[in-house]
Amino acid sequence: MESKVDLTFCGGINEVGGNALLLEDHIHNVKLFIDFGINIKSYNNHYEYLQFPKSVEELIRLGLLPDEAEIGFLNLYQRESVKIKYNPSNASSKLDAIIISHPHRDHFLALSFINRNIPVYAGEFTQKIISAYYKCTKRSIINNFEGIKWKLFRTGDIIHINGLEIIPCHVDHSIPASYGFIIKTSAGNCVYTGDFRMHGPLSWMSYDFVKKIKEYKVNTLICEGTHVNQGHFESEKKVKRNLKQLFKQMPYDYALVKYDRLNWDRFRTYSVIAKMNDFNYIISEKDAYFYYLMNKDKIYESMRHPNILNDDHILIITNGDVRFKWQETIRTKLYKEGKGNRLLKTKDISNLNKKFLLYLTRLPIKLIEKLNKKFKGVFISSYLDPYTEEYVDDNHSISRKLMQLGIPSYQIHASGHIMPHDLYKFIINVNPTTLIPIHTEYPHFFESLLENSEIKVLIPEKYRKIQLN
Ligand SMILES: [Zn+2]
């Protein structure tokens, strides 16, 4: 029998991140991808820092991009993307849309390669963060969002694609502008959670999502399960509390701080801690520009602080002469405000007469070696989830270097993902007919978890169509 709806999982199964789910509704005649990410962990296994893929084909071969041959499409990608420039002469694609849940790279990065005729639906601020990421990251084949046909939504909107209705709703995650979706397919209502948590500072957003879901009878729940089998009691508040404790009797002159640039919560927490303890907070020019772009839009209240132009405890390391437009923008803005003294050269760090936090997206060993030897430091790794989607560096080699330099390290973080007890409550509350686990290394755990319930667990396999009726 022909099915009404087919789901094909092209990534994010048996792994954390790299979500790319093809939903085909044959009654409404719609084909769309929900999320279009790249698994960052396996990407980093194949490419060194600043080493880039040569082609779409190469990424398909490595299993990092959905294979058109497997899903029966042509023109999903613009091959011209190899030349980076947007080429409007792409033939039209058979895909109707791509919808992005949130601006983490393991959910959106593959957009770099898509045929520009495909409309991309994203939250208003989701798009802004992606575009700020684009502007602040080295242009390459894998960072090319030029010419994308964006269609923006907010919570409260209903998205119509042909006859298909999608209801987006905000959720709390480690990055603002994260959404879950209720999709009213011809085979019943389908919920896609994206990445979410119930324990974060904006948990009311996730509860809104639950409330919205409860208005519907859910047939299929496609649920993230990063932490299905392992929990920690942690929160951004606890991160702040732990940092306060460490800083209260801080014998060190500086702290090297590491977290992901896209983690706004963490940036705010560190900025507050620095200010409270009379530390300077040193960030790179790129970070300053990224956060300046966020400040400028400040759609969310949380986007106002810290404020790159006004917060004088934030110092910015500049890198030589102005070579790019973004450098000019951030430097000019600061000079205009009479804050030119907040721009530092690397060598100035050793002459600071104040304790400082040095924030690093990557660990430039050379810079640390150059720091004044009389300074004593500590390293604080604050990845949201060291083992999940935004994990970039090899922690071990960093630890080795820090050992040589006599810098002790701490790990203080909070997860962006729902904890086991909250996840179990969520599933029981939603009470779907079928549950499909994604974004987890332990999909089979859901089977044992729900063994005695009425909920059927379906473990997806890559490229194997799941038929819904
Ligand atoms: Zn995420």
Q: Identify the three-state secondary structure at position 26.
A: coil
Per-residue DSSP letter, 93? P
d(CA 196, CA 209): 10
pTM of the model: 0.85
CA of 58 to the centre of ligand 1 (A): 25
Average pLDDT, the chain: 87
Q: Summarize pLDDT for 381-413 with one digit per residue, the tens.
A: 876 554 443 434 444 566 677 788 888 888 888
CA of 159 to the centre of ligand 1 (A): 22
What would you measure as the largest C-alpha separation in the chain, in angstroms? Answer: 75
CA of 170 to the centre of ligand 1 (A): 13
Sign of the CA dihedral with 174 first, then 50, 255, and 323 last: negative
CA of 370 to the centre of ligand 1 (A): 35
d(CA 156, CA 170): 9
Task: Report residue 456's pLDDT band, with 50, 70 and 90 as the boundaries.
Answer: very high
CA of 196 to the centre of ligand 1 (A): 8
Over residues 80-103, the mean pLDDT reads 68
Task: Report residue 41's pLDDT band, with 50, 70 and 90 as the boundaries.
Answer: confident
- The domain ranges of the chain are 5-230+417-468, 236-411
Residue 76 one-letter amino acid = L
Q: Summarize pLDDT for 322-350 with one digit per residue, the tens.
A: 888 889 999 999 999 999 999 998 888 88
Residue 447 one-letter amino acid = E
Q: Virtual CA dihedral for 210, 420, 467, 66, nearest 10 degrees?
A: 100
Q: Locate the DSSP E strands across 113-260.
A: 119-123, 149-153, 159-161, 164-171, 178-185, 188-192, 218-224, 254-258
Question: Which of 79-93, 214-228, 286-300, 392-406 comes out lowest in average pLDDT?
Answer: 79-93
d(CA 109, CA 223): 20
Phi/psi-derived region of residue 304, left when phi > 0, alpha when psi is between -120 and 50, beta in every other case: alpha
Per the structure block, which two tokens stand in for 65?
């991009």
For 236-411, give the CATH class.
alpha beta
Percent of the chain with pLDDT over 90: 57
- Which of 165, 186, 163 is CA-nearest to residue 2? 186
Between 320 and 443, the higher pLDDT residue: 443
CA of 123 to the centre of ligand 1 (A): 14
Task: Report residue 83's pLDDT band, with 50, 70 and 90 as the boundaries.
Answer: very low
Question: What is the model's pLDDT at position 75?
Answer: 83
CA of 34 to the centre of ligand 1 (A): 14
Task: Report residue 363's pLDDT band, with 50, 70 and 90 as the boundaries.
Answer: low
Residue 345 one-letter amino acid = K
CA of 31 to the centre of ligand 1 (A): 24
Is residue 192 predicted with pLDDT exceeding 50?
yes
Strands 21-25 and 30-34: antiparallel
CA of 283 to the centre of ligand 1 (A): 23
CA of 220 to the centre of ligand 1 (A): 21
Over residues 266-282, the mean pLDDT reads 92
Residues with C-beta atoms within 5 A of ion ligand 1: 104, 195
CA of 153 to the centre of ligand 1 (A): 19
Second-level CATH architecture of 5-230+417-468: 4-Layer Sandwich (3.60)
